[in-house]
A and B are shown apart, each in its own frame.
Chain A
Amino acid sequence: MDPLTWTGNLSFLNLPLLFVTGLFVLLVAAQIVIWLISAVTNTPNADGTISSSGGGLSGMAARATLWAFYALVALVVAYVVLGALLGQSGGILGAMSQQFLPVWIALIVTYALSIRFKRKLGLYGKLFDSTVGMIGFGIVMFWTYTAVFSGVFDMIATHEPLSQVSGMKNKIPGTPLRGAEEGEFAFYLLGGDNLARDVFSRMVLGSGIVMVIAPLATLFAFMVGITLGLPSGYYGGKVDTILSFLANLILAFPVILLFYLLVTPEIIESGIPNYMAAFLFVFPLIFVGVLVNSRFHTQPQKNLLYLVISLGVLGIGYLTVISDQSTVIRVLPASLDRFDIEPGILVVFVSVVFVNSPTVFRIVRGLAMDIKTRDYVAAAQTRGEGPWYIMLWEILPNARGPLIVDFCLRIGYTTILLGTLGFFGLGLSPESPNWGATINDGRKLLSIYPHPALPPALALLSLVLGLNLLADGLREESLRD
Chain B
Amino acid sequence: MGLFILRRLGVMILTALCLTYIVFTLTNLYPNLEKLAKTQGNFRMSDEAVTSWLDKRGYLQSTPKKYGEWLGVLPSKQFIDDEGKGYGRCTALADDPTQAPRFCGVLQGYWGQSTVFKDAVSKIIGIRLGLTGWLMLTVMCVMVPGALIIGVLAGMREGSKLDRTLSTISITSTATPEYVSGVIFIAIFASSAVGLKWFKGTATSAMEDITFANFTLPVLTIALYGMGYIARMTRASMTEVMTAQYIRTARLKGVSFANIVLKHALRNALIAPFTVIMLQIPWLLNGVVIVETLFNYKGFGWTLVQAASNNDIELLLGVSVVSVIVVLTTQLISDIGYVYLNPRIRIS
Of the residues B32, B201, B256, B327, contact of A254 by C-beta under 8 Å:
B327
A46 x B252 contact (CB < 8 A): yes
Looking at the complex, which of B68-76, B80-88, B126-134, B175-183 is the stretch in contact with chain A? B175-183
Q: A412 to B23: give the CA distance in the assembly, Å.
A: 28
Residues 13-48 of A, flagged 1 when their CB comes within 8 A of B and 0 if not, give 000000000000000100110011001101010101
For B323, the closest partner residue in chain A by CB is: A254
For A257, the closest partner residue in chain B by CB is: B320
For B283, the closest partner residue in chain A by CB is: A255
Within the complex, what minimum Cβ distance (angstroms) separates B167 from chain A? 8
**Interface size grouping (class) on chain B:** 35 or more
B319 x A450 contact (CB < 8 A): no
B191 x A461 contact (CB < 8 A): no
A36 x B162 contact (CB < 8 A): yes
Q: A252 to B184: give the CA distance in the assembly, Å.
A: 30
Of the residues B161, B176, B252, B254, contact of A461 by C-beta under 8 Å:
B176
Of the residues B201, B254, B308, contact of A257 by C-beta under 8 Å:
B308
Of the residues A32, A249, A419, A454, contact of B184 by C-beta under 8 Å:
A454
For A266, the closest partner residue in chain B by CB is: B31
B194 x A412 contact (CB < 8 A): no
Any B CB within 8 A of the CB of A457 = yes
Q: A262 to B29: give the CA distance in the assembly, Å.
A: 12
B174 x A468 contact (CB < 8 A): yes
Q: A416 to B160: give the CA distance in the assembly, Å.
A: 31
Any A CB within 8 A of the CB of B251 = yes
Q: A102 to B192: give the CA distance in the assembly, Å.
A: 37
Any B CB within 8 A of the CB of A80 = no
Of the residues B191, B252, B301, contact of A48 by C-beta under 8 Å:
B252
A448 x B286 contact (CB < 8 A): no
B31 x A35 contact (CB < 8 A): no
Of the residues B18, B31, B293, contact of A269 by C-beta under 8 Å:
B31
B177 x A442 contact (CB < 8 A): no
B165 x A32 contact (CB < 8 A): yes
Q: Which of A220-276 contact B (CB under 8 A)?
A: 245, 248-249, 252-257, 260-262, 264, 266-267, 269-270, 272
Q: A159 to B224: give the CA distance in the assembly, Å.
A: 35
Question: Which residues of the partner chain A approach B186 to less than 8 Å between Cβ atoms?
Answer: 443, 446-447, 450
Q: Which of A389-421 contact B (CB under 8 A)?
A: 412, 416, 419-420
B183, B193, B248, B258 — most chain A CB neighbours (10 Å): B183
For A409, the closest partner residue in chain B by CB is: B174
For B202, the closest partner residue in chain A by CB is: A447
Within the complex, what minimum Cβ distance (angstroms) separates B253 from chain A? 9
A450 x B29 contact (CB < 8 A): no
Any A CB within 8 A of the CB of B100 = no
Q: A270 to B248: give the CA distance in the assembly, Å.
A: 64
Known contacts A249-B19, A254-B285; is A260 also within 8 Å of B183 by CB?
no
Seed contacts A40-B257, A269-B31; 12 additional CB < 8 Å A-B pairs: A39-B257, A44-B251, A252-B324, A254-B320, A256-B285, A257-B23, A260-B309, A266-B35, A436-B179, A450-B187, A454-B187, A457-B184
Chain A residues within 8 Å of B, Cβ to Cβ = 28, 31-32, 35-36, 39-40, 42, 44, 46, 48, 50, 62, 245, 248-249, 252-257, 260-262, 264, 266-267, 269-270, 272, 412, 416, 419-420, 423-424, 436, 439-440, 442-443, 446-451, 453-454, 457-458, 460-461, 464-465, 467-469, 472
